[in-house]
């Protein structure tokens, strides 16, 4: 169990597409445990492996309904649209309104190596979509208009300088 260093905006690792986890072995279990520790320590509600410098398809989410830790998460089904504020541990201090699917069904492999399907709505669904985006190198800044992006440029620069 360990708290890992979260990589910040403009770190190139956040832009990589992560390969699938081949097997949920001891190493992946430890990664998921450490990611959960890091998420709770940094008071986030979700974290993806590339944010801690690991190019693997692994995420953790806890929106207050208990911990979800998955390897190879993918969205099987989605429905509806909802716009709401989102932050990201890699973009401290930035909150953006992002349009997401209202409900999703996500399939992934849990820490026991079992395939699980999770039905989620609202904030839980939003956070799962946010973390899966990270595995494809996508950040919340990719979901906003150019104009909005321009308006937060100073904040982004501060994060870049501090990282």
Decide: 61 and 127 in contact? Cβ < 8 Å: yes
- Of 81-89, 100-108, 110-118, 119-127, the segment contacting Ni ion by CB under 5 A is 81-89
CA 84, CA 5: separation in Å to the nearest integer?
A: 27
Under the binding rule (CB under 5 A), the answer on residue 135 touching Ni ion is no
Closest CB to Ni ion among residues 71, 88: 88
Token representation of residue 20 = 């699938």
Pull the structure tokens for residue 14.
């956040």
Q: Are strands 58-61 and 68-86 parallel, antiparallel or unpaired?
A: antiparallel
Burial class of residue 81 (count of CB atoms within 10 Å of its CB; 0-12, 13-18, 19+): exposed
Q: Is 131 a catalytic residue?
A: yes
Residue numbers 11-50 binding Ni ion by CB under 5 A: none
Instruction: With beta carbons less than 8 A apart as the criterion, state whether 111 and 24 touch.
Output: yes
Applying CB under 5 A, the span of 6-14, 15-23, 33-41, 85-93 interacting with Ni ion comes to: 85-93
Catalytic position from the list 43, 114, 131, 160: 131
Q: Give residues 88-127 in contact with Ni ion (rule: CB under 5 A).
A: 88
**Residue number, 24 or 88, with CB nearest to Ni ion:** 88
Q: 30 — phi, psi (to 5°)?
A: -65, -40
Stretch that binds Ni ion, among 9-17, 26-34, 83-91, 98-106 (CB under 5 A): 83-91
- Positions marked active-site: 131
Residues in contact with Ni ion by the rule CB under 5 A: 88
């Amino acid at each position: 169990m360990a708290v890992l260093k979260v990589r910040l905006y403009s770190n190139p690792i956040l832009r990589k597409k992560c390969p699938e986890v081949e097997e949920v072995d001891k190493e992946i279990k430890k990664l998921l445990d450490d990611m959960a520790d890091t998420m709770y320590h940094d008071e986030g509600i979700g974290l993806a492996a590339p944010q801690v410098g690991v190019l693997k398809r692994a995420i953790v989410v806890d929106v207050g309904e208990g911990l979800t830790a998955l390897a190879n998460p993918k969205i099987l089904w989605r429905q509806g649209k909802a716009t709401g504020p989102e932050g990201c541990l890699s973009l401290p201090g930035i909150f953006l309104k992002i349009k997401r699917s209202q409900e999703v069904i996500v399939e992934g492999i849990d820490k026991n190596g079992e395939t699980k399907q999770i039905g989620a709505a609202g904030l839980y669904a939003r956070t799962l979509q946010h973390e899966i985006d990270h595995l494809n190198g996508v950040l919340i800044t990719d979901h906003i208009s150019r104009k909005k992006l321009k308006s937060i440029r100073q904040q982004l620069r501060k994060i870049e300088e501090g990282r």
